Each structure stands twice: as structure tokens, then as C-alpha cells.
Structure 1
Amino acid sequence: MGRNTRKRRTPLATKVVAGAAALAVGGGGLLWANFNASAHEEDRAHDRTRSAAAQVATIDCPDVGQRVTDVPDRARGEVDGELAAMDSQITDAYKRLATTRRAQAGDSRYVQNAILGPLKDRRKAVIDRIQLEIDRAGGRADENLDELAPCQGRPAEQPQNGDGQNGGDGQGQDDGQNQDDNGNGVAGPVADDFIDIADVEPNSRDSRNGLAADGDGGSTGSFTSDCGVNENDVFNSDNLIAAPGVDNGAHHVHDYVGNQDNDAFSSDEDLANAETSCQNQGDRSTYYWPVLRLQDGTEEFDANDLGGGAEGNIGRILQPAQAELRFVGNQRSDVVAMPRFLRVITGDAKSFTNGDANANSSWSCTGFEDRQITDKYPLCPEGSRVVRTANFQSCWDGQNTDSANHRDHMAFVQQDGSCANGFQAVPQLRIRLVYDIPTPTVEDGVVRNPYAVDSFPEQLHKPITDHNDFINVMDEDLMNEVVDCVNSGEDCQ
């Protein structure tokens, strides 16, 4: 497979992030730090080890980026770079967590003293720089950001498999294997991350995030943009919205459709002049999402790269069988045009540790799409395919194409379908991705040949971390056509 190989610049923020160590463990990615005693050890040592395992499954850090909401425009690039550096600090700390099993088993304070304590100090230094950059640019930094410096160890939430012994002999400690890595050397997904779609109650998902935004009382039309399924194999582990100018800012790989010039260093001018995979050449918008992988032992092109196998994202990248990009209306009113270069993130790549306040993942199976789940991967019956759905925020503040935390300029509709706080309704983007995936098997608490979304290492490939990103690069004529179709009740493409 190919990937985006556009020559990269190296600003200071990039150099800081690039200093993070690769997270390869024995060439196979990242291990879940679950430290099981060998069968020959004394029961007391075994109990101590299991207690340590319960405390340090992953690292949970407060999301500083969501608290940094008042940043002058001229400081945003520097602040985004510092926030990306904090992400790299976490992945580096997770590497230490995953590769120091013996030390942790023998010292109940090891994680705090050797990993979390130093991480707090490094985060405090970055927070100080963020505050200084905001103040220098004429803003007023939150004086309480220091309280976000400490991180904590988070326990595994799924039950242990028997005594946690690998292969029945408990000898997995030295070779990097344990019952939570499915035998492939990476952390997650685990059996508890999957559910039979037949066991999901129909219409049980909370629709607060605008799943039913269109309706008979408002703008009922739609516009579909056909941009393919990433047949051009455009991949990278950047995030142009959240971490502009930072190489590997996402720490996981994205699929891209539409605009073909998508990396951390793409300017608005680059996007406007790029080629597009969309059939309508007026749509140069960027649509991207984390890839799905089948953990079947395949070594992908990025098996040894940051963002890929070196950060625990392993296996065969799955190309969607379908990628539907559809813009719909508002339940209560007409919609207005999106501004060009509007940036929107929906969902939260860190929702396993952040909580579900910004989570917007939605998983299902064809033939069962009245059953949507946020925190489990579906096990689909024969003849049915996995479906990922993303329904974006559709209320715009009327002024900004982005915001300091990349969220505040957009909002979901209220329960009655209207936009609050003077926000204006814009066409709502809905992305529906369909995949042909062999159904994993779950037996005795172990999942075999699982599929999983790429994630930050410490997020353990949890399904709730799924997210989607969009940059509007439609030309004015096409955006006006989208608005006219939606407001007139027509279905266009």
C-alpha cells in the first residue's frame, strides 16, 4: 500500500514531538501492561503482581487541550504544537508502562515513582510554556491549568481470564505475551470489547448527538458526494486539524478521501489547489478517519513506523467496501452555507480516558442498523457487514472556521432539532462506512482475529475512541448547490 509522502518541513514543534521514542516491543508493537506471575512463584508474589496489574493497565491524563479555549490566533500554532508534545509524552510513558513489568511486579511504587511522577513534571513544563505563549500573544491563560499536570494509572475494566496465564503455563512474562494481547503483542482489543449485534436492543442509542437532525418541519433534502473509498491509498498519522505542523500528531493512521494533499503541513492554499478523489471536482474537501485493521498477522507498510506498528497499530488495513458522504438538513429551519475551510472534528480519539462527553462513535451491522452501539465492536452474522456511522455537529457559530480546542465553533442540535446560543444551522455531514470483515471468534474470554480502530497507544483500541474529521473545501458554486438541494427538499449528488 502507498501513503502520503509529501516532503515535510520541520518546525520547532515538530522537532519536539519527533524526539519521542518509537514504541516497538520486540518488533511487535505495544503490550498491555498486565503483569502476571509465573506458575512457579509463591502465592504472595502472585497476589502482589495481580494487584499491580489492576492499577496500571493504561495511563489516564486530563485533556489539557479541552481546557485551552481562549487562545489568540497568533499563538494557536505554538499551543497546538505544545499539546502534541504532551501527547508524545503520554505515549512515551505508556511505552515505559508496557516494558517494565518485572520492576512493577517487585515494587508497588514503581509506576508512581518512575513513570507518573516524571510524567507530571514534564507535563507541568509544557503547561507553563502554553500559559506563557498565550500571555505573550495578548491573551489571558487559565491560571489553574497546573491542576491538569498529574496523570493516574487506570485499571483494566474487563475480568481477568482465570489466573491470567498465557497458554496455560503462565510463562508469558519474558516474551511479552499475556492473556490480554490476543497472542499478537499489542494492547487490545479484548473479548469484552465485542458484542453480538443480536444482543443490542433496537433504538437504544442516545440520539443527543443529532442522529435525527433532519425532519419534515425544516430542510429535508440531501446532497451526496461520491469520493471513493481511498483507492489511492492515501494514509498518514498526522492530524491537520488538531496538530497542524506536527509530524505523527495523531499517533495512529488515517484513511483520506476527497482532497489528496492531506498532511500536517498542508495550508489552505495547498488544499484549494490539490487534486480530489471526488467525482464532483468542485469538492476538494478533506474527509478522514482512523483506519480499521484486522489483527491477522499481516505486516503492513507501516509495521515498523510511528503511528503504525511501532505504536501498537498492527495488522491489515481494511479498505471500506462503501463510503457514503451525505449532507442533510435541519429539523427546524433552512441551512446556511458552510464557510470554506471550516474544520470539524466529531467524536473523541481519547474518549476511553476522557469519558464520553465528546464521544460520538456508532457501530452496527448491515440489516441491523436500528441497533447502534458506542462502546463495543459488533459481531455481525453471516452475510452482514460492519458499519461505522459518524453524524457531525451541524450548528455553526457564524464566525469562525476553527476554535482553540477545535470544538467550540460547532455544536450539535438541541433535542428539538434547533441550534442554541445564536448558532446557525449548516448542512449536517453524515459519513457511513461499510466493511467486509471476517467475524472474530470469542471463546473462553479470548477474541481471535479481532478487528480494531487505530488509536493512541494508551487508548487500547477501544471502539468508543472512533472519530471523524472534515475540512470543507467545496467551491462557492458547489456549496450553494448543496444548500439549495437541502433547503428545497431535493436529493442531489
Structure 2
Amino acid sequence: MLGGGGLVAANVYASATEGGWGGQSGPDATGQVKSAGMATIDCPDVGTRLTNVPDGARADVDRELAELDRQTADAYQQLQASAQALSENPHAADDSVMNPLEEKRSATIERIAVAIDRVGDRPEGLESLAACALLPGQAGTGGETGGTGQATATASASPGAGQGQDGAGQAGAGQGGNGPVASDYADITAVQPNAPQPAQQADASRGSFTSDCGVNANGLRNSDNVIVAPGVSNGAHHFHDYVGNQSNNAFASDDDLAKADTSCVDKGDKSTYYWPVLRLQNGKQERDAGSPGGGTEGNAGQIVTPKQVTLTFVGNPRSKVTAMPRLLRIITGDAKAFVNGPANANASWSCTGYEDRQLKDKYPLCPSGSDVVRTFRFQSCWDGRNTDSANHRTHVAFAGPDGSCPEGFRAIPQLVQRIVYDVAAPSVEDGGRTVPLFAVDSFPEQLHKPVTDHGDFINVFDDSLMGQMVDCINSGRTCGPGGDGGGASASPSAGTGTGSGSGGTADPGDGASATPAPSVSNPSELPRTDATTTPAHTTKHSAPSKQDDQSKQGTHDTARPTKQGGQSTEGAQTAPAKAGKAHSSAPSRSAAPSASEAGEIGQPTQSPAPGSGQTTPPPAQSEPQAVHGGLAETGANLWPAGLGTLLALSGLVMLIRAKRLRY
């Protein structure tokens, strides 16, 4: 009886507390990496220093820069694997991790210098960028380090935002302790309006052009970055959502992009639009759980397909715009802003109905009935010569507060990318146990910080359609879905620009809905099970119910989106039902995530067949894992408890019979 009871108790305790919420290190049974929860590797960004790389050296330099990122990711995994030993002797990391990393970086940086020297002037001072710093985290902060970028990357209403050093309420935050933490979230209703519109001058280009390219319902995703690391598999070290061009991977040439299919309604727009995926940190095992860029680099949990994506090109408040050059590449934001600092950060987070309030280094906690919004306002000034630059930044620039471009630059249509998600406000006070945290994918050392959010764009518009865009914007018309200008997209879904048949009306002129769009520079539909009634927490969020077990996925060739509950879903997925978010003061009806809308994770190690316009997905499979933390959600793992119960009952029966025989 004692043995059986002990087995019950031990298994119940283990099942209720498993899942890595306390910051354990090493991979768990699902292939998800658990952070050491103790340090961040801060390496100088060599790419930002290379502002003048000759064309003849560009390919070699891009490849070596990607190698530097791989070295940092490998070192971060070494820290995770040796977390216990390093917690006893932190200086052991110098010999086992940091010194070898510096040696590898030094050799790679030398190859960069040699490559440039062969065709131009050797850059000076690069060797000083080889050494990296190991920034220790604070206990109980889930891996929070307050890296070099955090001291100044603050633009939200709460004091000390982005510092992440208070340690209060941080314990258990983040899946496996690798971030984010409670201080990375802010109640949007407590933020003051901070996004005024710039004044329109006499020669302003007041029109807009919207392209409807869907929400990535077919799940085209991979961890490549064809702009920053062309020809390098897993060059991003985190997964991206793609809409528009369907040949997006590291190996896509300009010709591949030009010949590809597109998800845009107007087939004249073959541009590629991509951004880091948003995940629920709910323990769900996605297809990339054991893959580079996914679970092996700390990006774990259920990928959320956007509810709505609006792609709007707007004008300049003081002048007319000129056409973008074909194959122009623009990156907005900085994927490494947590350690690089905020110089290139351009994240904007908000909630529907509150988009005059933008958060730069916080995820928003939205009230009931409001959805999470990511907004990217891209650079809108072009140097008139180059479609890219060595650091992928200096060929474009942001306009000044009055709309003026730097000397030598000209105004081009500004892409405003607005992405909406139907996700409940997480229960940050318990580290997401009750309602899971959400966060963007990131490089391992960036700890899923919201300030690292970024977007990428490659212009593959037909010349004629680009001409229509410029004419619409300069003449003050509204073109695209629901517009008044005609001659653009022929989408029947007026005002949404989403291809999802959902969501309110988005004004193409400002890229927002119902509220003024931000003028500040930048920032899946979730299947739900039946609702349950639970008390709300102090910050607005809802409690999850038990997740579905399976969500069978097809391939790109066979799965076709279907309309279910007003949302685009894929293949044989469970039909979603609209979920509310609980109010802070009273119980409310809420709904929880069910099986994942994983979609098809692209294979970054393979290039598409010539002319196919498709990436080849891996074999369809889905192995959901129960949400961590609650006993009701760990039943599948409680079989030892059942065995212990049986043993205890058997012992009780034997005891009773023995007592009867005795008397």
C-alpha cells in the first residue's frame, strides 16, 4: 500500500510540475530546448559595420556572416547543455564555450576581411569584434538578462520598461525559462496615445494602394532569410511566415522569384512579404520541434496563423512618390535588438481599437474583444541607385518627422504591414500556466523579446502594376480591395485585404482599423475548443481548456483552405470557434487553443524544383503535446499513477482478507 501510494504521489507531482517552466536545461522529450535560464551571449554585430562591401565579395561575406550567427547559436546550445555545471562554476564557460567561440569568430572575420581585400579595400578594425560577452541572468527571471540593448530600448508607458531587472513575478515565465518574462508584457489600456499623424502638406501624396495576399493559410514557413543569408539553410535561426511569393527560401534567385506563383489576388504582385512567426508557449509539439530554427534553437510551441493581414502602400506627407525599383529589398526592425541596442529597432505592438497606442518593447495585453496587432512601417526613402546594400539598410532610409527624405534620397511608396492575431491575453503572473504566453520566434540569444520584431520585403511587382500604385497614391485615390480608384486588385473582400473573410474594415490609407494608424516607425486564426466558464485573472485573459489531440495536415499540393467559422483553415483541421478574452473584474466565457494550425514547415535544406514556384514540405505529421502545468492536462502521462492506485487497492483488499482469516 505504501509503495503504490508513493508511486501515485510521485507521478502526480512530476506530471503537475513537468514542462520546464522552472528553467531546466537541455532538450525535453519533445525535442524542445530548455534554456539554461542563466545567461545570454552578447556578440558584436559584424554585419552592421560592413557598409561598403564590393559586389564581387558580397556572396562570400553573406555566407560568412551567416556562419557567425551559426556559431553563436551553437555556443548558446552548449550553455544549455552544460547549465548545471555552469551554475556551480560560471567561469567554466570561458574555457568550454566563450574562448572557443572567440577563436571561431576570429577566423570567420578574417575570411570576411580577406574576401573584401581581394576586390577592394580591406576593412579596418573588424578583428576587435571577435570577442563576445556572457551576460548572466538573474535568478527566477526565466533567462532575463537585460542585455545591452535593453537599457535604452524603451518606449512604453510603464517606468523602467524593457529593463527586465526587477525580478518580480518572473519565476517560471517563458517556455523552458528562455523568455519572454512578465515584464515583457503591458496592459494596452494603461498606455497613453503616442502615435500622432504627421501633418499633410500641399504636395503630399495622399492616396493608398492595398494588395490582398492572404494570411499564409497554406502554412508556407521556413527558417531561411534570402535577403540576409542567401544560399544558407537556416540563415534566420527562427521561423518566418510568408505571404505573396511562393518560392521563398534561401536558394531562390531573382529569376525564381519572378517566375513563382503568388498568394496575392492580383497576380501582378509577386512580392515576398515575411516576418517571424508568433507562437503560443503551450508545450505544443510543432513539426519544427526538433529542427534547426525551431525547437532546437528555443523556438517552441504552437504557431498561430494570423487572423488578418493587410498590406498597404501609402504616400509621403510632403511630396509625390516615385516607383520602387524591381527586386528592391527592405528589412525593417532588428532581429538582434535585444543585444544590439535599439538603433535599428522598429517594432510596434498594439490591440484593435487601441492602435493610437503603440508599444516598442512590450507585448500587449488586450482587453476582451480586442486582438493583438503587429504593425511594420517600412523605410520610405530610396537612394535612387541600389536595390540592396552590404548591411541591407543604407540603400533605404526613414523619412523625417515632416516626411522629408535624406539628401540624395527620393520618396517611394511606404509599405505598412498590419498583422492581427486572435490570441487571449496571457496569464503573466503565473508564467503562462493558466493562459499560455505568446511571443515571436527569435535568435536563441534574443530571448523572444518583443523589441526584436522585424519584417522583410522584396518588390516583385510587375512594372505596370507598380505604375498603377504610384498613380493611385500621387492622385490621392484609394486603390485595392474596397477602394475607389480601380485598376488594382479585384478582390471581392472589401476593406480587409486579408483573404480570410474575417475582421472589420481596414482603411488602406492608414493600415489600421477603427483608430488612427501610427505615424511612428514600425512595430492562425487559432482553432478553439468549446468554451468554459472560469474566473478571470487580474490582467485580462482566459483560462485554457483541454487541447485537441490531433490536427491532420496535408501538403502544399493537396491541402486547400476552406472557410470555417469565418476563417481560412487548412485541409482536415478542426473548425475554429470565435474565442473571447476574459475581463479583469468578473468571470467570463472563454475558449482555449485546440490542436495546432501548424501548416507546412518549409524545408530550408532543399531548394525548390526549377520553375515549380513551390517549396517541398516534409511529410505530413502532427504530434500535439498537452499543455503543461495542470493535472487535467497531463492525464496521458499519469499511467504510473493508475498502476500505483491499483497496487494500493490490491494491498487494501489483501489486508482486509488477512484480518478476516486471523479472526
- Contact (CA 8 Å) 1:201, 1:371: kept in 2 or not? yes
Query: Is the alpha carbon distance of 1:471 and 1:212 closer, same or farther for their aligned partners in structure 2, counting shifts above 3 Å?
Result: farther
State the one-letter code of the partner of 1:86.
Answer: L
- Counterpart in 2 of 1:318? 304
- Counterpart in 2 of 1:400? 386
State the one-letter code of the partner of 1:468.
Answer: G
- Provide the secondary structure at the position in 2 that maps to 1:288: strand
- Counterpart in 2 of 1:226? 212
Matching residue within 106, 125, 143 for 1:124? 106
- Counterpart in 2 of 1:78? 60
Structure 1 residue 312, shift from structure 2 partner? 1.0
Distance 2:174 2:448 in 1: 15
Matching residue within 35, 39, 44 for 1:32? 35
- Contact (CA 8 Å) 1:70, 1:139: kept in 2 or not? no
- Counterpart in 1 of 2:342? 356
Larger Rg: 2
- Counterpart in 1 of 2:179? 188
Distance 1:124 1:199 in 2: 47
Distance 1:234 1:330 in 2: 33
Structure 1 residue 215, shift from structure 2 partner? 5.9
- Counterpart in 1 of 2:265? 279
- Counterpart in 2 of 1:175? none
Query: Is the alpha carbon distance of 1:435 and 1:216 closer, same or farther for their aligned partners in structure 2, counting shifts above 3 Å?
Result: farther
Moved more, 149-158 or 362-371: 149-158
- Counterpart in 2 of 1:264? 250
Distance 1:244 1:477 in 2: 28
| Alignment partner of 1:144 is 2:147 | no
Structure 1 residue 442, shift from structure 2 partner? 2.1
Structure 2 counterparts to residues 362-381 of structure 1, below 5 A: 362-381=348-367
Structure 1 residue 29, shift from structure 2 partner? 2.5
- Provide the secondary structure at the position in 2 that maps to 1:333: coil
- Counterpart in 2 of 1:41? none
State the one-letter code of the partner of 1:219.
Answer: S
Distance 2:206 2:175 in 1: 48
Distance 1:462 1:354 in 2: 12
| Alignment partner of 1:386 is 2:410 | no
- Provide the secondary structure at the position in 1 that maps to 2:330: strand
Superposed CA RMSD in Å reads: 2.0
| Alignment partner of 1:473 is 2:476 | no
- Contact (CA 8 Å) 2:172, 2:431: kept in 1 or not? no
- Cα deviations by residue, 1:91-119 (Å, 9 ceiling, x for unpaired): 01111112212221232411222211111
- Counterpart in 1 of 2:661? none
- Contact (CA 8 Å) 1:32, 1:181: kept in 2 or not? no
- Counterpart in 2 of 1:202? 193
Matching residue within 445, 451, 470 for 1:464? 451
Distance 2:102 2:402 in 1: 43
Matching residue within 76, 87, 97 for 2:69? 87
State the one-letter code of the partner of 2:181.
Answer: V
State the one-letter code of the partner of 1:147.
Answer: S
Structure 2 counterparts to residues 8-19 of structure 1, below 5 A: none
State the one-letter code of the partner of 1:116.
Answer: M
Distance 1:154 1:294 in 2: 27
Compute the TM-score of the two structures, normalised by the length of structure 1: 0.83
Unpaired stretches in structure 1, ≥5 consecutive residues? 1-22, 35-52, 162-178
State the one-letter code of the partner of 2:137.
Answer: A
- Contact (CA 8 Å) 2:27, 2:34: kept in 1 or not? no
Matched length: 428
Distance 1:443 1:269 in 2: 50
Unpaired stretches in structure 2, ≥5 consecutive residues? 1-25, 143-169, 481-663
- Provide the secondary structure at the position in 2 that maps to 1:418: coil
- Cα deviations by residue, 1:337-363 (Å, 9 ceiling, x for unpaired): 000000000000000010100000000
- Provide the secondary structure at the position in 2 that maps to 1:192: helix
State the one-letter code of the partner of 2:176.
Answer: G
Distance 1:358 1:249 in 2: 19
Structure 1 residue 180, shift from structure 2 partner? 5.2
- Counterpart in 1 of 2:136? 155
- Counterpart in 1 of 2:436? 449
State the one-letter code of the partner of 2:105.
Answer: R
Query: Is the alpha carbon distance of 1:427 and 1:158 closer, same or farther for their aligned partners in structure 2, counting shifts above 3 Å?
Result: farther
- Contact (CA 8 Å) 1:336, 1:427: kept in 2 or not? yes
- Counterpart in 1 of 2:49? 67
- Provide the secondary structure at the position in 2 that maps to 1:344: strand
State the one-letter code of the partner of 1:194.
Answer: Y
Distance 1:298 1:216 in 2: 54
- Provide the secondary structure at the position in 2 that maps to 1:443: helix
Structure 1 residue 434, shift from structure 2 partner? 0.5
- Cα deviations by residue, 1:140-160 (Å, 9 ceiling, x for unpaired): 122200111111012337975
State the one-letter code of the partner of 2:323.
Answer: A
Query: Is the alpha carbon distance of 1:160 and 1:110 closer, same or farther for their aligned partners in structure 2, counting shifts above 3 Å?
Result: same
- Provide the secondary structure at the position in 2 that maps to 1:478: helix
- Provide the secondary structure at the position in 1 that maps to 2:313: strand
Query: Is the alpha carbon distance of 1:400 and 1:364 closer, same or farther for their aligned partners in structure 2, counting shifts above 3 Å?
Result: same
- Counterpart in 1 of 2:472? 485
Structure 1 residue 492, shift from structure 2 partner? 0.4
State the one-letter code of the partner of 1:365.
Answer: C
- Provide the secondary structure at the position in 2 that maps to 1:66: helix
- Contact (CA 8 Å) 1:27, 1:310: kept in 2 or not? no
Structure 1 residue 24, shift from structure 2 partner? 4.3
Compute the TM-score of the two structures, normalised by the length of structure 2: 0.62
- Cα deviations by residue, 1:154-184 (Å, 9 ceiling, x for unpaired): 23379759xxxxxxxxxxxxxxxxx755474
- Contact (CA 8 Å) 1:186, 1:312: kept in 2 or not? no
- Contact (CA 8 Å) 1:323, 1:434: kept in 2 or not? yes
State the one-letter code of the partner of 1:443.
Answer: E
Query: Is the alpha carbon distance of 1:154 and 1:308 closer, same or farther for their aligned partners in structure 2, counting shifts above 3 Å?
Result: same
State the one-letter code of the partner of 2:54.
Answer: P
- Cα deviations by residue, 1:239-273 (Å, 9 ceiling, x for unpaired): 01000000010011111000011000001111011
- Percent of residue pairs bearing the same amino acid type: 59
Structure 1 residue 444, shift from structure 2 partner? 5.7
- Provide the secondary structure at the position in 2 that maps to 1:243: coil
- Provide the secondary structure at the position in 1 that maps to 2:32: coil
| Alignment partner of 1:98 is 2:80 | yes
Query: Is the alpha carbon distance of 1:445 and 1:274 closer, same or farther for their aligned partners in structure 2, counting shifts above 3 Å?
Result: closer
State the one-letter code of the partner of 1:84.
Answer: A
Distance 2:287 2:432 in 1: 28
Distance 2:424 2:54 in 1: 49
Structure 1 residue 31, shift from structure 2 partner? 2.8
Structure 1 residue 321, shift from structure 2 partner? 0.7
